[in-house]
Structures are given as structure tokens and as C-alpha cells.
Amino acid sequence: MQLNAVATASEWELAAAELAWRSGVFVDGKLQPSRSDEGFSVVSPRDGAALAEVAVGSALDVDAAVSSARAAFDDGRWSRRAATERGRALVRFGDAVESRARELALRISLEMGKPAQDALAVELRAIAQTLRWYGQLADKLGDEAHVGTPGALALVTREPAGVVGAVVPWNFPLTMTGWKLGPALAAGNSVVLKPAEQTSMSALVLGELALEAGIPAGVLNIVPGRGDIVGEAIGRHPGVDVVAFTGSVGVGRRFLAYAAESNGKRVWPELGGKSASVVLPDADLDKAGRTTAWGSFYNQGQMCSASSRMVVLGEAHDAAVAAAIAQADDMRPADPLSGDAALGAVVSEAQLAKILGFVERAVADGAAIAAGTGERFDIGTGRGSYLAPIVLTGVRPDMEIAQQEVFGPVLSVIAVDSVDEAVAVANGTPFGLGAGVWGRDLSAVHQLARRLRAGTVWVNCWEEGDMSMPFGGVGASGFGRDKGARAVDKYVDVKSTWIELDS
């Protein structure tokens, strides 16, 4: 089967049937058996079928990966290579990923349930673009020379920090991985990557693609496995200098504790959210309601930056809600391999049950279901973990559903009477990842955008942005920032060299 040409449902299915799954750990440039006997079976949420038995990594594998990364770092095979050459290799890495884009999209889709076409158009495009963007940036990161003191020269240079541990989630598995690998590798570091259990087999493919691109063995190591084993071993490892983490608040804080209790390594946490989309009365209400709903449902709602709360002012309420309901109706779940599915499967049965629990309690708290049913959805096969999008109206800001991250396709609508109340509600959770403002009065929009406590504010859109725009949060959403040129600074040490000049 020519994966490059796959597009229709039957072609995706045929390709899926032919796909071979490999597991193990990728250490020192080789896919090798894990040093543990433990394994687990990866179940596809698409139909509940087991995809493969996966051997998972252990703390011993983390030791081996860190040793390999350290040796690569110390001998300079990457860390001391000319930045231009590192950059070229990263660009080739992006191209290599792109050359296997359909295969990788299919793997992700089967592993975590998002539509294959979506994985191709969004995930694969994102990682390829990210690797190339940082590759092109690699030799443009100039350092500083200060000549302010007569008789001396001060150099302020960026040195790669050493070994970077990257621990990522399953919801945008390759996008998140690209956001860590791009800047860390561009700066000359070696990396030990731990993908989420659900998406470990797609992540392993990256190891061989990095080698193919000319990134030397040992520079990128991949150790799949359980968070509380492999993740914790990375977090506590004395040989790891920096941890870049994306995931939940609880685990992010554990990494801060691991660091404090081990070698004081730097930790960059990028965590969850409960982002509010504020709709002002003069907004394009149809677009505001539809886009906010889309931002809440896309990727089965499993988005850290989901617009999970629509905060609507006064008379804007009914039209914005009607638009959100229409959007929910347009996003029925379907087989992720069907070629044109708007939504696929929720990542697991456990996640589906968790989402439905949130909805049940919200209804008990007084919210009304305006779209969806609050029950699992059958795509016609009687199998798989599917949920049609849900719009909840009459949500009060203090309800559990308005405070906690659901990580499912559920939009909570909160009605407010004034801009001040909208600000208080929008800022009234511990999170601060994203926020949105919808309106036409430029001054009112700007004033409101400034008052929202969030790492990103989207105006008259949601989820837009290019590689130059940093992404991350404030408050409980963590303080790591991915994307943009500044992300490189997370992975470098600033070195000052003071040189006395003979007069």
C-alpha cells in the first residue's frame, strides 16, 4: 500500500491493517528491548481492539538513555557542531517526518482516536514545520559582546544546558514533541523523550527519522513507559539538567518536587487550562458562538487550550448559544479513519467515563444540556469510545464544571451582565492558559484583552497563531513557554566571560 496516496476511508483502513507495530526503547541510536519484563496492551479507542503488546521502559532504561545522551553531549558530536550544520540536520529531520506523514498520522489516529485526516493536516504539519523552523533559527541566535569597560571585553554566550528530559502527553503527541525537540536540539542539547503510554509507538518512529536526518546516535533517545516509573526516573535523574514537561497540573507539580528532591534541575511546566472565551454584545455572534464551540470540541475536547467556558454578556447570550448548538450538531463523531470525520474517539474508556461524570454532576448542580445527550455515542459499530459534543447552559462560575478541566467535548456557557463581571469570571479559576475576546469595538476589545490573566489572548478567533508566537500559561497552567525564538532560552545556560585586555 502506498501510504503517500492514502486519503479515503477504505485506503486508510487497508493501510491500518498492514501497519506493523514495534515497541522497545530507542537508546544510543538503536531500537532495543526494554530492560524490564513489564508490558501492556495498547487498546485503540477507535474500536476497543488491542493494537499491540508494548514492552515498556524502566528506570534502568532511563539510566542507559541518560548515559547515552550525556556521552553524546560531552564528546561534542552535536553540542559542538556548527550551528548551521545542526540547523540543516533539523530541517532534514522535519522533511523526514513529512516523508512518513501519512503513516505517522495513521498511527496516532489508531493510538489515541483523533481523525487520521486531522492528524495529518494538523499534527504532522505542526511537527514538520516546528523542526524546520528551529532548524532555520539555529544559526541566527547571536550572542553578545560588551565593550563598555575600557580595557576589558565581556562575552555573554548561550551554552547548551546538557541533557534535556522531555515528557509529553497524548493529546497532540507529535506537536508537543516537536515543540520540545526543536529548540532543545537547535541549542545543541541531547534529549531523553518520554512519550505518553497511549502514543508511544508513533513516538518511537522519530528515533529512526532523526538518525536518517543526520542527527547522531545518542542525541535523541526515546523511553516509553509509565509516568510513575519512566517519568519519575527522568524527573529525579541526577544526569538530567532540564525537564520540559507538558501535561496535567498534578504531574507538573510532581516534576517540580522531583527536581527539588534531586539535583535542582530546571523544570518547565506547561499544564492544563480552563480558558474563557468572552463574547461582547457587538461581536459577530454567529462566528463567536461557533468558533468558541469548535475550540471546545476540537480533538474531542482534549485540548489544554480548549475554550471550555463561553462567558456571554447580556443580550448576546441567545444568539451565541444558538450558534454553539449549531456547531455541536455539525461535529458528530465518526470513525477516525472515515476520511472526513470532524471528531474521532475520546482517548480511552476511562476518559469517557470521567467526562460523563463531570456532565452528570453539572446537571445535578443545575446546568441544562442544550446540545448532546450526556451519554456515549454510537458511530454505528457498537464499539469504541465516542461522545457527541455537549453544550451546557445555565452554568454558574463556582460550579465544578466551570472550575475544573474536563478534557472532553463539553462547553459551559456562563451568562454575565457587565464587562467587570466577565473579567471576574474569566479570571476566576486557578488556571491561565488561554482566553478569548469577541467584539468589534477596538478599544473595548483591547481594554478587555489586557485584563484577562492568560498566556495567550485570542481576539475574534481561537487557537490561531504561527511559530513565532510563544505558547504557555500563567498561574496553575504553569510557566513554560513553547514556540517562538525565546523557547531556546529554556535549554541554554548563559555564560559570562570577562576578558582583560592588555593596554
Binding residues among 290-329 for ligand NAP as defined by CB under 6 A: 304
How many helices (H) and strands (E) the chain has is answered by: 16, 21
Closer residue to ligand NAP (CB): 251 or 411: 251
Q: Does 171 help bind ligand NAP (rule: CB under 6 A)? A: yes
CB of 492 to ligand NAP, least distance (A): 21
Instruction: Check: CB of residue 238 under 8 Å from CB of residue 49.
Output: no
All three cell numbers of 398: 463556582
> Toward ligand NAP, which CB reaches closer, 61 or 270?
270
Q: Write the DSSP assignment of 286-312 as a string of letters.
A: HHHHHHHHHHHHGGGG--TT---EEEE
Residue 212 cell numbers, joined: 536518517
Q: Is residue 432 close enough to count as binding ligand NAP by CB under 6 A?
A: no
CB nearer to ligand NAP: give 138 or 433: 433
Strand pairing class (434-438; 276-279): parallel
Q: Quick one: 56 exposed, middle or buried, by C-beta within 10 A (0-12, 13-18, 19+)?
A: buried
Q: How far is the CB of 118 from ligand NAP (least distance, A)?
A: 16
Residue closer to ligand NAP (CB basis): 393 or 429: 429
The grid coordinates listed for 415 are: 451568562
Task: Verify binding: residue 119, ligand NAP, rule CB under 6 A.
Answer: no
Please identify, among the stretches 33-41, 220-228, 333-341, 408-416, the one whose residues bind ligand NAP according to the rule CB under 6 A: 220-228
Binds ligand NAP by CB under 6 A, chosen from 169, 173, 344, 436: 169
403, burial (CB in 10 Å: exposed 0-12, middle 13-18, buried 19+): middle
In 3D, which of 365, 354, 351 has the Cα closest to residue 395?
365
Q: Please work out the total of residues on this chain that contact ligand NAP, with binding judged by CB under 6 A.
A: 30
> Which residue in 236, 254, 290, 317 binds ligand NAP (CB under 6 A)?
254
Measured from the CB atom, the residue of 9 and 204 that comes closer to ligand NAP is 204
Q: Which three cell numbers stand for residue 281?
A: 454584545
Q: Does 61 bind ligand NAP (CB under 6 A)?
A: no
| Sole residue written with cell 526516573 | 233
- Widest Cα–Cα separation across the chain: 84
Q: Which residue has the cell 493529546?
A: 171
| Lookup: cell for 338 | 472515515
Is 304 marked active-site? Answer: yes
281, 417 Cβ separation under 8 angstroms = no
Q: Which stretch binds ligand NAP (CB under 6 A): 123-131, 161-169, 259-267, 393-401?
A: 161-169
Query: Are 269 and 252 spatial neighbours (Cβ–Cβ below 8 Å)?
Result: yes
50-55/276-279 β-pairing = unpaired
Residue 271 touching ligand NAP (CB under 6 A):
yes
For ligand NAP, which is the closer residue by CB, 24 or 87? Answer: 24
Among 81, 114, 180, 194, binds ligand NAP (CB under 6 A): 194
- From 123, 304, 405, 463, active-site residue: 304
The nearest distance, CB 352 to ligand NAP, in angstroms, is: 14
**196 lies in the binding site for ligand NAP (CB under 6 A):** yes
Alpha-carbon gap, residue 74 to 69, rounded angstroms: 9
User: Which residue lies nearer to ligand NAP by CB, 247 or 289?
Assistant: 247
Calpha distance 208→220 (Å, rounded): 10
232 binds ligand NAP (CB under 6 A): yes
At 317, list the grid cell. Answer: 447570550
The answer to whether residue 246 forms part of the interface with ligand NAP (CB under 6 A) is yes
Find the shortest distance in angstroms from Cβ 173 to ligand NAP.
9
Least Å distance, CB 464 to ligand NAP, is 16
Q: Which is nearer to ligand NAP, 213 or 411 (CB)?
A: 411
Between CA 378 and CA 238 the distance in angstroms is 48
Cell of 161: 544546558
Name the segment binding ligand NAP (CB under 6 A); options: 66-74, 153-161, 162-170, 442-450.
Answer: 162-170
Q: Which of 47, 61, 111, 197 binds ligand NAP (CB under 6 A)?
A: 197
CA 94 from centroid of its chain's CA atoms: 18
Which candidate, 120, 58, 36, 24, places its Cα nearest to that of 344?
Answer: 120
Residue with cell 474500536: 47
Of the listed 232, 270, 405, 463, which one is catalytic? 270
Q: Does 487 bind ligand NAP (CB under 6 A)?
A: no
What is the smallest separation between the CB atom of 376 and ligand NAP, expressed in angstroms? Answer: 20
Specify whether 111 is catalytic.
no
Q: Which active-site residues does the annotation give?
A: 270, 304
**In the complex, which residues of this chain contact ligand NAP (CB under 6 A)?**
167-172, 176, 194, 196-197, 226-228, 231-232, 235, 246-248, 251, 254, 270-273, 304, 405, 407, 433, 473
